[in-house]
Amino acid sequence: MPVLEREPSRDRNVLPKVPVPDLQQTLSAYLTCVKHLVPEAQFQKTKALVEKFSKPGGTGEMLQKKLLERRDKTENWVYDYWLEDMYLNNRLALPVNSSPVLVFPKQDFRDRDDSLRFAAHLISGVMEYKAMLDRRTLPPDYARGQQAGSELCMEQYYHLFTSYRRPGLKKDSLITQSSTGAEKTPEPGHVIVACNNQFFVLNLMEKSRRLNESDVLTQLVRISKMAEQAEEKRPPIGLFTSDGRTEWAKARDMLLKDPVNRESLELMERCVCVLCLDEPTGLQPTDSNRALLMLHGGGHDKNGANRWYDKSMQFVVGADGVCGVVCEHSPFEGIVLVQCTEYLLKYRTRSPSKLMKRSSVSDLPAPQRLSWNCSSQILSMLSSSANNLQRLVRNLDMEVFTFRGYGKEFIKKQKMSPDAYIQVALQLVFYRDAPGGQSPPTRAPPPAVSVTAASTTSARPLPRRCTSPKP
């Protein structure tokens, strides 16, 4: 059902909290799984430890009590554990390893101005969607399948344009700005535009008025011309965000010693989103190449430096028609990204751009170019980040195939979830190819129905031996 046809969202506080599983049920399920994984003697030792753990007044009851207290004091007792373990403690680079992407249909731009018109219209859609989020008027999502009709928690949607993942030496931080709410007039904020590996501030309000689509186009054209000025070019600092998190954190600490860099980093953290105006890569725009370019930009010699991976939403508009969106995964699950992207794609058809050319005269101030003062040590670190990105690009092999035998409707007619069907298919392929017929470690997040701040449910398959209990 299209977003605009749904009813306005109700207060999320009506949704119940995530429950704490019963201690005895948890321990019983644990023993049932372990029994088929270990020899009998080892199982008996494990069983004895579990019984000791679960004794009245013992460690189990004490820890269960603390979890219950945590449940009462927080919206979602498991959220912070999940966020830190799954994302913030992870030291791997964000591109390829963590950040999901969506590839738009291939666009046939006649020239660079045509791609900038597309980008201006896209930003207009982002502004409209953000306004609904700020005013809390975005219609709610509802579950499908067995629990169809149950309202889902909408909290993650409010993190789409307000979140930023700040690197740390041992653990990252998820920075979330507060959104305004229905009783206030939301500020539109600013977009960071990446062009030719440079970064520019596109304010969405100038001289006390909101920019319209024509204004945005005028500013994008200005940015495109400013990015061509070789004498003003700055180092491609965006490469740092593609590196391992600890490496980026060290470089960031070095950058922060200079006040100019601190101001630039602050503007990056507070932006609504990043708009990446990519250069043509010369690659054939096959499905596989477009997906690869969206995942990592093609490396530092293509558009890999024209990114800022810490920001939750990056919209990519390539002059060669390669377009899509890259997201930082920690603030929200994939379905939130999908719903937002579907809205923006429908916005293009529902509200087609009427821009034929940009305004020749404008009283808007010129966009601000972000400046960076870099020591020789910072430049050396930047060179290392460029090399690490190239290694990441070389190590990724991917081929996109289109299966035309049947689609999701056939799977639904078999009374199966298309997502679950694909998960099982992947498991089967791995089982057939892996030595000894082992199933791989896999995580798949089922939708959390009718619970507050729901982003933490997870389904994991049992190893093959668990599915064949001894008689």
pLDDT at 433: 83
Identity of the amino acid at 234:
R
CA angle 313, 317, 323 (to 5 degrees): 85
Residues whose CB falls within 8 Å of the CB of residue 182, separated by 6 or more in sequence, listed in order: 135, 136, 137
Q: Does the residue 83 lie in any domain? A: no
What's the pLDDT tens digit per position in 387-418?
Answer: 999 999 999 999 999 889 999 999 999 998 88
Q: How far is CA 334 from the centre of its chain?
A: 7
Q: Does the residue 313 lie in any domain? A: yes
Contact between 305 and 235 under an 8 Å Cβ cutoff? The reply is no
159 assigned to active site: no
On whether both 239 and 310 belong to a single domain, the answer is: yes
Q: Which of 36, 159, 190, 329 is catalytic?
A: 329
pLDDT at 331: 93
On whether both 439 and 304 belong to a single domain, the answer is: no
Q: Is 73 exposed, middle or buried (0-12, 13-18, 19+ CB in 10 A)?
A: exposed
On whether both 136 and 194 belong to a single domain, the answer is: yes
Element (H, E) at 112: helix 112-134
pLDDT at 190: 97
pLDDT at 141: 81
* Domain boundary pick from 394, 417, 433: 394
Q: How many domains does the chain have?
A: 3
pLDDT at 154: 87
Contact between 286 and 398 under an 8 Å Cβ cutoff? The reply is no
Q: Does the residue 80 lie in any domain? A: no
Please give the residue range of the domain that contains residue 415: 408-467
Contact between 454 and 76 under an 8 Å Cβ cutoff? The reply is yes
| Percent over 70 (pLDDT), the chain | 85
Extract long-range pairs of 68-73: CB within 8 Å, 24+ residues apart. Answer: 68/20, 71/17, 71/18, 71/19, 71/20
pLDDT at 53: 96
* Domain boundary pick from 362, 394, 426: 394
Q: Does the residue 17 lie in any domain? A: no
On whether both 39 and 99 belong to a single domain, the answer is: no
Contact between 234 and 198 under an 8 Å Cβ cutoff? The reply is yes
pLDDT at 357: 58
Q: Does the residue 192 lie in any domain? A: yes
Element (H, E) at 126: helix 112-134
In 3D, which of 175, 177, 171, 232 has the Cα closest to residue 200? 232
* Domain boundary pick from 47, 75, 103: 75
Phi, psi (degrees; rounded to nearest 5) at 436: 75, 5
Largest CA distance in the chain: 83
- Low-confidence stretches of the chain (pLDDT beneath 50): 1-13, 182-183, 449, 462-471
On whether both 282 and 169 belong to a single domain, the answer is: yes
In 3D, which of 460, 429, 425, 465 has the Cα closest to residue 443? 460
On whether both 233 and 333 belong to a single domain, the answer is: yes
Joined together, the tokens standing for residue 338 give 């999908």
Where would I find the H helices in 235-308? 245-255, 259-270, 287-296
What's the pLDDT tens digit per position in 163-177?
Answer: 999 999 999 999 998
On whether both 170 and 286 belong to a single domain, the answer is: yes
Residues whose CB falls within 8 Å of the CB of residue 315, separated by 6 or more in sequence, listed in order: 119, 122, 123, 126, 273, 274, 275, 276, 323, 324, 325
pLDDT at 334: 87
